[in-house]
Structure 1
């Protein structure tokens, strides 16, 4: 389903910093799922740079490996979670896709544009999502109504609404906030391709015409959205500064570990300057 048999697992593990001798043998169990999820989310940044440059976003595994693993770039949800799904499938996990509505922007009702995973371990379902940027979980979250988990000072919860709609929630200084909501309907890789087409090319997509890079973290979560770099902490404090076009490449490398070639740098500086 997720082309796990085509994955260069050793290269993927090296990319996310997972060492089998240090971190343990791989098996389709909760310890492995948790360790891989945390390592992936910590190592591979969320970013839309190819979308901003007007490039296509292929989701075949060969392309994902070339970009996220070999070139050490990041990607957005369809890329990140497709790569994680391939790794988990290769190890022996049962992995299914889901499509979610982003609720983090308030009362608006957006279309289903976010892709996440549900992984079954010993009969229990776990939300796995390394593709929601700074607001996403570092570790899997059990899909049980009323569950509450704390991850390095960041607290997430699950609620179940009518028709079996699951809601991922995050506890902030001001109280609980809905992050996104999704139905139990299974999404296949082909469904991710359809969502990806909208997000990478539709005029109303929020990923067009601006630079986005984000990374969850233990102490600080980082977000670059257009010209604003935000450093968000679990206690609700936020540091912000404006990033100019001349500072963009250095900021992407220092804060997110993204290195650009000369063509990418020039193109993104133009997009960034126009967006400001």
Structure 2
């Protein structure tokens, strides 16, 4: 995946990363955390009927140039461009969301496997509410703590891997994936489905999420939820409040 208008320094400025960079785990972890805290997951263009372009240059213009967020293909696409600029080898994986089990859903999510020091690590900056906060080793064993969250990545069966997250004290399946080869163009049908199918979650609900250093801020329709180590807060917004909350909590000014 390449974009003629991608500039690594402009990306680093966008996410507020000021340290040195190298094609190693420490850098990739730092960039992943910074992007999660500064480039929100959001589907506002889907709800507005503006469509979602997977042209790489359009993603750079939207997320870096216009300082917007996006959903999985956009934010993970931007992260893939950064990995490529760093010289980190990566590949895409098509994921099957499992958060509505036992309903079996199609592979409509996209994540990244990055190769670092000869090992593959799952990277994902685009899985909404309870997504991971740092890369996870594909060959890892057992739960991993990331700040105040816990995740587990391991084999689901002989062919697939599964990511789980601890949600309010219980383990919950997030998604599964296999190691089949996927090109960027392979996600265009899933993008069309997510952004146009009337029963798609993204067509029915406003979803905006941003990580904080120790938690998350989530807007689901008009319900604003804050997750922090000392508890969970929730309040229902009047529609007139939404634009200000998008600006102040998510850095999205004029996104509606």
| TM-score, with structure 2 as normaliser | 0.94
Distance apart, 1:134 and its partner CA: 2.9
- Secondary structure of 2:180's aligned partner: coil
- Residue of 245, 249, 264 corresponding to 2:243: 249
Following superposition, the deviation at residue 199 of structure 1 comes to 0.6
Distance 1:243 1:85, change over 3 A: same
User: For 1:9 and 1:55, how far apart are their aligned partners in 2?
Assistant: 27
Q: In 2, Cα distance between the equivalents of 1:101 and 1:217?
A: 26
Q: Distance in 2 between matches of 1:125 and 1:224?
A: 32
Gap runs ≥5 in structure 2:
none
Kindly provide the CA deviation profile for residues 203-245 of structure 1, in whole angstroms up to 9, marking residues without a partner as x: 221111432101122323111111211112357x421111121
Q: CA deviation at 1:173?
A: 3.7
Following superposition, the deviation at residue 80 of structure 1 comes to 0.4
Q: Is 1:259 matched up with 2:253?
A: yes
| SS of residue in 2 equivalent to 1:156 | strand
Aligned pairs (5 A) from 1:1-276: 2-3=1-2, 6-19=5-18, 23-24=19-20, 26-234=21-229, 237-260=231-254, 265=256
Between Structure 1 and Structure 2, which shows a larger proportion of helix residues? 1
Q: Deviations over 1:58-80 (max 9, x none)?
A: 11221111110011110000000
Q: Is the 8 A contact 2:5 2:60 kept in 1?
A: no
Give the number of aligned pairs.
Answer: 256
| Distance in 1, Cα, partners of 2:86 & 2:142 | 27
Compute the TM-score of the two structures, normalised by the length of structure 1: 0.88
Shift of residue 174, structure 1, vs aligned partner: 2.7
Name whichever of 213-222 and 240-249 sits farther off. 213-222
- Take 1:176 and 1:189, find their aligned partners in 2: how far apart are those partners? 31
Give per-residue Cα distances to partners, 1:133-164, cap 9 Å, x unaligned: 23111211111252422111111111202132
After the TM superposition, list the runs of 4 or more consecutive aligned residues in structure 1 that deviate by more than 6 angstroms: none
8 Å CA contact retained: 1:145, 1:160: no
Rounded Cα–Cα distance in structure 1 between residues aligned with 2:213 and 2:12 = 20
- Contact 2:4–2:57, Cα closer than 8 Å, also in 1: no
Task: State the secondary structure of the residue aligned to 1:177.
Answer: strand
In the superposition, relative to structure 1, how do residues 66 and 4 fare at CA in structure 2: closer, same or farther (>3 Å)?
closer
Q: What SS class does the counterpart of residue 208 from structure 1 fall into?
A: helix
- Residue ranges of structure 1 left out of the alignment (5+ in a row): 266-276
Q: Alignment partner of 1:135: what SS?
A: coil
Deviation, structure 1 residue 4: 5.5
* Residue pair 1:133, 1:216 contacting (<8 A) in 2 also: no
- Alignment RMSD: 1.6
